Amino acid sequence: MTLCVRLLLALLLLPAVPALADSAGQRPAGAPPQGAAIASAHALATDAGFEVLEQGGNAFDAAVAVSAALSVVEPISSGLGGGGFFLLHRASDGRDVFLDARETAPAAATADRYRDADGKLDREHSQNGPWSAAIPGLPAALVHLAGEYGQLPLSVSLAPAIRLARDGFPVYERLERGYAARREVMERYPGTRAVFLAGGQPPRVGQTLRQPDLARTLEALAARGFDGFYRGQVAKDLLAGVRAQGGQWTAADLAGYAVKEREPLRFGYRGWEIVTAPPPSSGGVALAQMLQVLAGWDLSRQAPAQRAHLTVEAMRRAFRDRTFYLGDPDFVHVPVDVLTSPYYAAGLRATIHPDKATPSDVFSGRPTPLEDEETTHFSIIDAQGNRVGATQTVNLLFGSGLVPPRTGVLLNNEMDDFALLPGQANAFGVMGFEANAPEPGKRPLSSMTPTFMLSPDKVAVLGTPGGSRIITMVLLGVLGYADGLGAQQVAALPRYHHQWLPDVVLAESGAFDAETAARLRGMGHVLQLPGDTVSGRGSSHSWGNLQTVALDRRTGELSSGSDPRNPGGKGEVRALEAAGK
């Protein structure tokens, strides 16, 4: 009997049990935040956010500044040529909104474009150059954020990013290393060479990287809003640059792009209310499944091996469902209500053997390399209690590698996040079927999971890059806060990950001690610890770049946590003169 059938049977045969986790509800803050907190993956972006807060901006203006600054100083991770998700909380009316600025498939990008002559997935097309790029969403998000939620004009909130693009910023080790890894693809394109080989040599630590074309594109966005990017000269240059490399974007693809405001997903976990990413992210649904499965146990009372076993089993089941059911809700029916129901979670929970791993034996899987320098997350709480959790990306290292000449805009390779060939794993080793098949205008399924968690005493904002591992990192972060850890401890927590297929638990060093690892192996889990080689591939030693901020609702005290795996990140709390105005 396949796992699928077994799970289904268990589900049908089990009496439904009531929700074990009830929602904490939102209580008005007892004390206002003492200043503002920002955590991001680059110190210059965190500083850009504070600069805008000091000019009287709110968290949403700061989010524009941080997002755009990251787009300039972290081209390895995200940018105007990519997309992202922004989870917002507006203090004045208590409204939570999920701003979906995910890229969309251009009309010409149908599945057959990504198959070679033998019908196999053409990874060259899906990961490099013009066909890998979907229509960017980030510029539209910045315009929407500033116009609908901010207090300052884009000319002010984009000023730090424009300055960083025009005057340059110091190249850092992660950028130099990432460029070296992606150099061959990037240097195929004249527009990309003009940015990254402007000094004749690839970017080196200590050099200043200036992006004058990108500064002009940001200025056009500041001056003309949506039209400054999606229509007019920048749009013409984007279309010409894509076409010159054999791609097929149209003016209608660009002008038709729209950000979507969606209702965030909400559920309870043992006294916490979790507010998180709905589809086209798979992260919130998976988080709801995993946490509601785990809510059946008091994890703080479980021995480490037992806790890890239960958590891995919850991960396995959530990723199985991701494979079959998740996609863009504007194109396919995603059974969110069923998947996130506590009754469904209770059924899944009952299929977990207390001390035996359930084999993921429906298909054979194989580990694929998981990269983790790309994508970026930032978290903000301002003095009014507004909150932003945003994860933005160009997908893999430096996205498609293609910068259309004169734009300074490095295009994403988000098309690889679609299930371009049914059942074929993408760069993160996750696969999908019809729900995530490409269609014109459709958003590829994402794992990005910006998340809020609230209890009567605490509010936390968290998220991270890491492809499919984003979801399990956010899970472990939520469990860490629920255990009472502080923001910096949550950012530093050792990580482990299971994604159904391959049927392997990846773990960072420090995640399991020797006894826990031995016990897990004894239960039938295949562990891949740093240095181990499973199925011919070694495990990366660490992953993720989690950025989080938190507020103690009783005292108003703020805290921040910036992932120690990225020494260039910065979490900071500042008491601000202008904050709260």
Interface positions with ligand DON (CB under 6 A): 371-372, 374-375, 393, 395, 414, 417, 446-448, 465-467, 470
CB atoms within 10 A of CB 440: 14
Instruction: Give the pair of three-digit tokens for residue 402.
Output: 């293609």
Q: Is 107 exposed, middle or buried (0-12, 13-18, 19+ CB in 10 A)?
A: middle
> Closest CB to ligand DON among 386 and 499?
499
- Minimum distance from residue 123 beta carbon to ligand DON (Å): 15
What is each CA distance from 290 to 274, 283, 448, in whole angstroms?
12, 10, 16
Cα gap 427→448, rounded to integer Å: 15
Distance of CA 431 to the CA centre of its chain: 17
- Minimum distance from residue 447 beta carbon to ligand DON (Å): 4
CB 463 within 8 A of CB 532: no
| DSSP summary character for residue 263 | P
- Minimum distance from residue 466 beta carbon to ligand DON (Å): 5
- Minimum distance from residue 103 beta carbon to ligand DON (Å): 9
Catalytic annotation, pick one of 104, 375, 376, 393: 375
> Closest CB to ligand DON among 209 and 370?
370
> Closest CB to ligand DON among 469 and 525?
469
> Closest CB to ligand DON among 226 and 543?
543
Beta strand pairing call for 451-454 and 537-538: unpaired
> Closest CB to ligand DON among 516 and 528?
528
What is each CA distance from 44 to 216, 361, 430, 537, in whole angstroms?
20, 47, 33, 36
CB 458 within 8 A of CB 553: yes
- Minimum distance from residue 395 beta carbon to ligand DON (Å): 4
Query: Which candidate, 28, 31, 38, places its Cα nearest to that of 61?
Result: 38
338: phi then psi, degrees, rounded to nearest 5: -70, -50
Cα gap 417→427, rounded to integer Å: 8
Cα gap 327→306, rounded to integer Å: 33
CB 351 within 8 A of CB 360: no
- Minimum distance from residue 343 beta carbon to ligand DON (Å): 28
Query: Which candidate, 222, 183, 282, places its Cα nearest to that of 80?
Result: 222
- Minimum distance from residue 325 beta carbon to ligand DON (Å): 16
> Closest CB to ligand DON among 156 and 431?
431
Please confirm, yes or no, whether 351 is among the known catalytic residues. no
Alpha-helix residue ranges (DSSP H) falling in 149-263: 154-157, 159-167, 173-186, 190-196, 212-224, 226-230, 232-244, 251-255
> Closest CB to ligand DON among 55 and 540?
540
Q: What positions carry a catalytic annotation?
A: 375
